[in-house]
Structure 1
Amino acid sequence: MSDKHPGPLVVEGKLADAERLKKESNYLRGTIAEDLNEGLTGGFNGDNFLLIRFHGMYQQDDRDIRAERAEQKLEPRHAMMLRCRLPGGIITPKQWLAIDKFAADNTLYGSIRLTNRQTFQFHGILKKNVKPAHQMLHEVGLDALATANDVNRNVLCSSNPVESELHQEAYQWAKKISEHLLPQTRAYAEIWLDQEKVATTDKEPILGETYLPRKFKTTVVVPPHNDVDLHANDLNFVAIAEKGKLVGFNLLVGGGLSIEHGNKATYARTASEFGYLPLDKTLAVAEAVVTTQRDWGNRTDRKNAKTKYTLERVGVETFKAEVEKRAGIKFEPIRPYEFTTRGDRFGWVKGIDKQWHLTLFIENGRLLDYPDRALKSGVAAIAKIHQGDFRLTANQNLIVAGVPESQKEKIEQLARQHGLMENVTMQRENSMACVSFPTCPLAMAEAERFLPAFVTRVEEVMSRHGVGEEHIVLRVTGCPNGCGRAMLAEIGLVGKAPGRYNLHIGGNRIGTRIPRMYRENITEDEILTNLDELIGRWAKEREADEGFGDFTIRAQIVNPVLDPARDFWQ
């Protein structure tokens, strides 16, 4: 991943149609406002179908009933998924209660979905309720701007509830980076908040008139916890502290997990180290990386438009030198840092500020009231008395943060009463899936609905081999777009067709190595047969404290992915 194959700075050729759409959108307005009043369809028409993504929404339909509705000569049951912008995943109890009420009253499913982008999503918002959703968020100080499409999306930040002073500094930078890179167009305020159109001409000094070539993701991560999976992201600021105080960041650029089945020009890639920068250069460097990708990213082929492909095409050193020039900086050598964990620490932990923090496991991030566990009501009950804040983690879990000793017992009582503090195995805690069916239009196989029972079957295999108390980082994604981050797992399943997956193995526990495809297009039973053999070998042949992924590499069951652009598909 260096300058082995430098190529042209700009890819010439016919632009992708998305570039036309953005150019003609009048800075993301399109005809969305008019379309809202179109009663003939429950969806958005023409370019607006894609433009609404810049405003934080995806148009979806319930795929479980799609065929049935087609048979009845009805259009699919269109509804929107809306994703909030929540840098660092911090939300107040007052804000939480507002989103809880909206989910209950105005969505088809009634749930709140915590995502591994450290925010929440509403699924099933009918067109008539879309504008009220944005207005509700605005009333409590939130928005959905730039949480999808060709912009810098929600900025992640380590959810460390213990080293609270350092975390607070890192979180403030996550917020600043998010604000600095937001679109400047007034389209969001005009369409959703009924704010007056300002007479001045729109300008996008950072993102440009046609925005970025593709989606762009940013993190601020506090070692030794890689809980944000930094290597899944384009732009990463690794916090460097001295005596508990933040002094600067190591910069890593060009991570990304999305691939396309059978397309060998696509691959998962870990981020490249650029160097160390002092705090006062953070925003300038963030802007320089974004504008370099804006100008050099591939606008002719969206499958090869992300930052990882730009780095491979022009060379890491060439890209880095351009960032230095634009930011007016010379990177210092990378400062020492190490990752030792990436999962969340469940239960109560006490911070250095003497406050308590309770991390709750939320399977698949889905908050809903089930017959035996009223999870959504439980979080709402906690929100009514909680005086601190909530932190959404990048592993789809929830931290009740900043609890004084006097409230600890009451909050634990509410959590237990509503099934939010049940005994959960380490394996289940370290397993994750994307949403997939029935709402995601890209889904090829089940993920969220598949995971719970599949984890149970994996646990049975592990118990049989005497490793039932241990864990393997397991991820399932319903398609190759990477939302479930299977390409940073020790065992990653990537949906290929209904009931069939590609099995990847060989990632590591800390999320710094891409797994390799081991078996293609196999069923759940075939996956478990393979895992039975592999886990059996791991149990017998491993070295002390050796993780499953590390074992599969050392035992040469698979070769490590060392140079993704050239050996990911080998």
Structure 2
Amino acid sequence: MAKNLDLEKIKAQSRGLRGRLVASLENDTTGAVHPEDTAITKFHGIYQQDNRESRRQRREARLEPDYRFMIRVRVPGGVASPQQWSALNETAYQHGGGSLRLTTRQAVQFHGVTKEDLPDLMRRLDAVLMDSLAGCGDVNRNVMCHVQPEAGPLHAETSRIAREISTHLTPRTDAWREIWVDGDKVDTKEIEPAPDPLYGRTYLPRKFKIGIALPPINDVDVYSQDIGLIAIERNGGLIGFNVLAGGGLGCSQGDPNTFPRLAESLGFVRTEDVVAVCEAIVTVQRDYGDRENRRHARFKYTVDDRGIEWLAKEVATRSGVTLDHPIPVAFNGNGDRFGWHKAVDERYQRTVFVEGGRLTGETREALARIVRDYSEDVRITPNHNVILSGIRPSDCESVDTRLRDAGLDDESVSVRQRHSMACVAFPTCGLAMAESERYLPTLLASIDEIAVRHGIGDVPMTIRMSGCPNGCSRPYLGEIGFVGRAPGRYNMYLGAAFDGSRLNRIHRENIDEPTILEIIDQLFAAFAQNRAVDEAFGDYLIRSGTISATVHGSETNELRGD
């Protein structure tokens, strides 16, 4: 508890998220920043990390850890211009070790950046009107939005609203520009800026996430969001949103008081009222969220403890907006749609599969050239893939050829690979207990072989892997989910809904690959023989009694019914 209270003190005394960052950057005796500044850098979209695989060697050589930084660039709604994509690609080459990582929140991450390279990287972002402010930290983070350019004006309107919400909820501080772009020596100034008009001096108790979905596609996993917004369309126009509240997927190993949770319906609001309602919900969490126990500080616990009816009354009072009854909607999946799709302007979009969300080397460069030559914009999907949009019909064949030459052709990618997701995990994430991004492709190849052998090779399934229980890859919404316990060992979860509307439940604890594949073989054999027509794998597992349906997130880690 003391550590959490200290963090609240650090935020309160940060002078508008400035901390001691300038002095930390100027200290050339270490590759790290001051320990207290690691809390402040997160608000700037920066995580201090080190290469875990070199720790022992460096310790034996009496060297400090190989400190590097991860920078998370916000991309509200996941949409970037060709100029911005070109800058991201060039920055990856210059400062990111040649790697560009697309995230499950439609953002972009650079890994392995040295402390001395941070200012140049930030200036490169600023030059194309991008930044990393609020990429991390106890504030609202990147606002997600469905990626369906073929929806035309409806997509354009929801994308605009995602940017508007993002701008409205971004901390009001000049610290990011002062430190990273303008280079002012703010550490030497005797300033005490006014509290942030929305967040105050201590910001939120924990991170906060918002996503916009457009039925029938739930690509943003709208039920996993602190605020989920479901766009409601009538006669081709946007009339408003069903508002969901209280979702979140992280939990702590061995702590039953922490659990994933799906958002509940708060009501329907008109388009013009959605920003005010989002602000009201954020201020409720600011005022009522737990600031003593960070494991209990997420908004989902505030809603779970106090109830959705209480929240609805608070939001109505704070926003002055009447929440109406939600409008019935239906989703049919939460994956990406691959291949070509025609937009209303007669141009086309092409979804490109990116394994693990990681673009490196010549593949990264080739994609940047394709974007430059053909694409109107780039859309990062919530499943860490890429959509090239605005492609002229006459260019589709050329784009396919160049994607194939770059190794980005998805014809050989299985339906399970297309519906898979992994977090970064080793070697940089300090929370990882097991591999994820580097290992999932190998495991999927074996799972695909089993599926083909049982005659279900063409049946899509959501398979997600996380290196720890925090759930960055949303593993608790996978029909098959894996959560790392130790190197080479995972908890296995089963039974989520294919459309992202039901959590899964733990099936086996702390198992290795041979055990995983043995279980998969048995499950796929039974599924192939007994499934109903068009029945999803997760639904079959529930119907057959293989796993019990999770009604409340606290049941996700309860072993029973298997």
Q: Give the TM-score taking structure 1 as reference length.
A: 0.95
Q: Go from structure 1 to structure 2 and tell me whether the alpha carbon gap of 1:566 and 1:531 turns closer, same or farther (over 3 Å shift).
A: closer
Instruction: Determine the C-alpha separation between the residues in 2 that align with 1:548 and 1:110.
Output: 38
Opposite residue 27 of structure 2, the aligned amino acid is E
Q: Which residue of 2 aligns with 1:8?
A: none
Q: Is the 8 A contact 2:15 2:193 kept in 1?
A: no
Shift of 1:387: 4.6
Matched, 1:547 2:536: yes
Q: Is the 8 A contact 2:260 2:556 kept in 1?
A: no
Shift of 1:16: 2.8
Q: Is the 8 A contact 1:389 1:400 kept in 2?
A: yes
Q: Is the 8 A contact 1:156 1:228 kept in 2?
A: yes
**Aligned partner of 1:129 among 104, 117, 121:** 117
**Aligned partner of 1:529 among 518, 528, 531:** 518
Q: Which residue of 1 aligns with 2:102?
A: 114
Q: Deviations over 1:197-230 (max 9, x none)?
A: 7979333121121000000000111111000111
Matched, 1:207 2:195: no
Q: Which residue of 2 aligns with 1:304?
A: 296
Q: Which residue of 2 aligns with 1:355?
A: 347
Q: Which residue of 1 aligns with 2:135?
A: 147
Q: Which residue of 1 aligns with 2:57?
A: 68
Matched, 1:385 2:373: yes
Instruction: Determine the C-alpha separation between the residues in 2 that align with 1:553 and 1:89.
Output: 34
**Aligned partner of 2:322 among 318, 321, 330:** 330
Which stretch shows the higher mean deviation, 289-298 or 455-464? 455-464
Q: Which residue of 2 aligns with 1:431?
A: 420
Q: Which residue of 1 aligns with 2:168?
A: 180
Moved over 3 A (4+): 12-15, 195-201, 565-568
Opposite residue 517 of structure 2, the aligned amino acid is L
**Aligned partner of 2:11 among 22, 32, 39:** 22
The count of aligned residue pairs is 554
Matched, 1:192 2:184: no
Shift of 1:566: 6.1
Q: Deviations over 1:138-191 (max 9, x none)?
A: 001100010101000000000012112111000000000000000002111111
Matched, 1:416 2:404: yes
**Aligned partner of 1:254 among 229, 237, 246:** 246
Matched, 1:170 2:162: no
Matched, 1:80 2:72: no
Which stretch shows the higher mean deviation, 198-207 or 338-347? 198-207
Instruction: Determine the C-alpha separation between the residues in 1 that align with 2:73 and 2:357.
Output: 15
Instruction: Determine the C-alpha separation between the residues in 1 that align with 2:218 and 2:310.
Output: 28
Opposite residue 19 of structure 2, the aligned amino acid is G
Structure 1 unaligned residues grouped into runs of 5+: 1-11
Shift of 1:410: 2.7
Shift of 1:416: 1.6
Instruction: Determine the C-alpha separation between the residues in 2 that align with 1:510 and 1:112.
Output: 29
Matched, 1:284 2:276: yes
Q: Go from structure 1 to structure 2 and tell me whether the alpha carbon gap of 1:30 and 1:353 turns closer, same or farther (over 3 Å shift).
A: same
Q: Is the 8 A contact 2:74 2:132 kept in 1?
A: yes
Matched, 1:401 2:401: no
Q: Give the TM-score taking structure 2 as reference length.
A: 0.96
Q: Go from structure 1 to structure 2 and tell me whether the alpha carbon gap of 1:201 and 1:48 turns closer, same or farther (over 3 Å shift).
A: closer
Higher relative contact order (CA 8 A, sep 6+): 1
Seq. identity, %:
41
Opposite residue 293 of structure 2, the aligned amino acid is D
**Aligned partner of 1:375 among 339, 344, 363:** 363
Q: Go from structure 1 to structure 2 and tell me whether the alpha carbon gap of 1:567 and 1:123 turns closer, same or farther (over 3 Å shift).
A: closer
SS in structure 1 at match of 2:23: helix
Opposite residue 229 of structure 1, the aligned amino acid is D
SS in structure 2 at match of 1:514: coil
Q: Is the 8 A contact 2:225 2:247 kept in 1?
A: yes
Q: Deviations over 1:422-467 (max 9, x none)?
A: 4211111111110000111110000001111100010111112111
Matched, 1:318 2:310: yes
**Aligned partner of 2:503 among 506, 514, 522:** 514
Instruction: Determine the C-alpha separation between the residues in 2 that align with 1:230 and 1:63.
Output: 33
Instruction: Determine the C-alpha separation between the residues in 2 that align with 1:440 and 1:178.
Output: 26
Q: Which residue of 1 aligns with 2:434?
A: 445
Instruction: Determine the C-alpha separation between the residues in 2 that align with 1:85 and 1:98.
Output: 14
